Amino acid sequence: MGFFRKNETHESRSSSMSYVLRWSFQNTRQIAIYAILAIAVLSSFFAYLYSQGRKSIQLKVDGKTMAVETRQTNVEDFLKEQEIVIKTEDAVTPAIDNKLKDGDQVVVDHAAPVTVIADGKNSKRFTTADTVKIALLEAGVSVAEQDKVYPSLDSQVTPEMKIRVVRVNKITVRQPVSVPFQTVKTSDPKLLAGKTKVIQDGSNGQTVHYVEKVFQDGQLISKRWVSKAVAKPATARVIAVGTKKPEPVKTAVLAASITRTSNKVKISGSGSITKNGISFSYKKVLKNVSMTAYSAEEDGIGTKTASGTRVTEGRTIAVDKNVIPLGWWVYIEGLGFRRAEDTGGAIKGNKIDVYYDTLKAANNFGRQKGRTVYVIGPVKPELN
């Protein structure tokens, strides 16, 4: 029985290799196309990955905004890329360790150095505040309504700005003023003429003036008179004057002449009369004198007179100094003795303004006409 063997030659393996080479040669074009397609796919893939890493960021630095593209993944690296230096006092939003994504906004506010001057202290600090008001709040400095701030609270903060707070305090103080008592004389028909008797001793009164004082940082800047009140009324000294055997009342016609020299009034003449038991000489008589009244409670009226004295009810009157010299005493029918101590722009000619402590009393006095006034001189007549 015989066996058939497949013919084997040394060329079998080489034949396979030859086939591959023949196929490669025949399909070179197809291989090139496949290679190009593979490269295109890979390029598109890597381009997609690259585009996914790029971000569009809105950067705002000290109020100025710009659009920036970056491939950085966090805020800190992004700011370094943009060469923006950040100090501890600066404000960055979002925080520097935050991740970045496309469309984010990064805000950088650089802190400005300012000096705050308040309550006797100078403190230098850094602030990212936009206005002086916010900067003071950050510094823990409170501002009251009456305080003054330089520059104003709504001013924009600038580097090296000096912010000064001036503390303003207003206080009202009491100033007691002594009011001298008056002497009132009354006729006593049971007492011999020329004799006197004290019926009641006088005592000084007291008024309290309220004055508003304004202080800036502890220093007195201004003061203003506000009002006054009577703390203790004065008690008049009452003297009885005897009239049992009255002496004849001597009257004389005044012969007086007035000479003007260098705007001063020189009065000469004589006359005598007795009023309320007091005999006195006078220089002249003014008839049909117009009378008004005023008070320190009126706006613009102080407590100091044109002659330098303090206004006093029962004594002070305002006159035309060309008619009645300042410092002279007069006797006004129905009022008594008064002293010319003050002047006024509306007081001209035969017109007299009578001082009262309260505006109510001055208004009650009103305007009166037809008064007779005896001009006496610089010395007040006293009971002999």
More confident residue, 178 or 268: 178
Q: Is residue 34 part of a domain?
A: no
CB-based burial of residue 358 (10 Å sphere; 0-12 exposed, 13-18 middle, 19+ buried)? middle
Q: Which residues does 383 contact at the CB level (< 8 Å), separation at least 6?
A: 185, 196, 239, 241, 277, 278
302 and 372: one domain?
A: yes
More confident residue, 259 or 182: 182
373 and 262: one domain?
A: yes
Give the three-state DSSP class for 304.
Answer: strand
Q: Is residue 280 part of a domain?
A: yes
Q: Please give the pLDDT value at position 209.
A: 92
As a whole-number percent, the residues of the chain with pLDDT over 90 amount to: 38
Of 229, 179, 224, the C-alpha closest to 204 is 179
Q: Please give the pLDDT value at position 207.
A: 93
| Cα 282 to Cα 331: distance, rounded to the nearest angstrom | 9
Of 164, 176, 168, 191, the C-alpha closest to 277 is 191
191 and 268: one domain?
A: no
More confident residue, 282 or 88: 282
CATH of the domain at 186: 2.20.230.10
Give the three-state DSSP class for 82.
Answer: coil
Asked which of 121, 138, 166 is the last residue of a domain, the reply is 166
Q: Is residue 331 part of a domain?
A: yes
pTM above 0.95, yes or no: no
Average pLDDT rounded to a whole number, residues 234-243 = 87
Place of tokens 């710009």: 66
Instruction: Compute the mean pLDDT over every residue in the chain, rounded to the nearest whole number.
Output: 82
344 and 284: one domain?
A: yes
Q: Is residue 46 part of a domain?
A: no
Of 173, 172, 155, the C-alpha closest to 164 is 155
Please state which of the ranges 74-78, 127-131, 159-163, 299-303 shows the lowest mean pLDDT.
299-303
CATH of the domain at 153: 3.10.20
291 and 345: one domain?
A: yes
Is 60 exceeded by the pLDDT of residue 76?
A: yes
262 and 371: one domain?
A: yes
Is 90 exceeded by the pLDDT of residue 328?
A: yes
Cα maximum dimension of the chain: 205
162 and 176: one domain?
A: no
Is 80 exceeded by the pLDDT of residue 270?
A: no
Q: Please give the pLDDT value at position 256.
A: 41
CATH of the domain at 329: 2.40.40.10
Of 296, 290, 289, 288, the C-alpha closest to 361 is 296
pLDDT grade for 260, boundaries at 50, 70 and 90: very low
User: Which stretch of DSSP H or E encloses residue 29?
Assistant: helix 28-53
pLDDT grade for 258, boundaries at 50, 70 and 90: very low
Q: Is residue 15 part of a domain?
A: no
104 and 129: one domain?
A: no
Average pLDDT rounded to a whole number, residues 182-206 = 86
Q: Is residue 384 part of a domain?
A: no
Helices 28-53/12-26 angle, 10° precision: 60
Q: Please give the pLDDT value at position 384.
A: 52
User: Which stretch of DSSP H or E encloses residue 38?
Assistant: helix 28-53
Is 60 exceeded by the pLDDT of residue 253?
A: no
120 and 101: one domain?
A: no
308 and 359: one domain?
A: yes
Number of domains in the chain: 4
Asked which of 196, 214, 242 is the last residue of a domain, the reply is 242
Average pLDDT rounded to a whole number, residues 306-330 = 92
Average pLDDT rounded to a whole number, residues 89-103 = 86
Q: Is residue 18 part of a domain?
A: no
309 and 333: one domain?
A: yes
118 and 63: one domain?
A: no
| Cα 335 to Cα 368: distance, rounded to the nearest angstrom | 12
Domain span including residue 82: 55-109
CATH of the domain at 60: 3.10.20.30
* Helical ranges in 271-310 per DSSP H: none
Q: Please give the pLDDT value at position 279.
A: 85
Residue 256: how many CB atoms within 10 A of its CB?
Answer: 15
Q: Which residues does 115 contact at the CB level (< 8 Å), separation at least 6?
A: 122, 123, 124, 125, 160, 161, 162, 163
Q: Is residue 37 part of a domain?
A: no
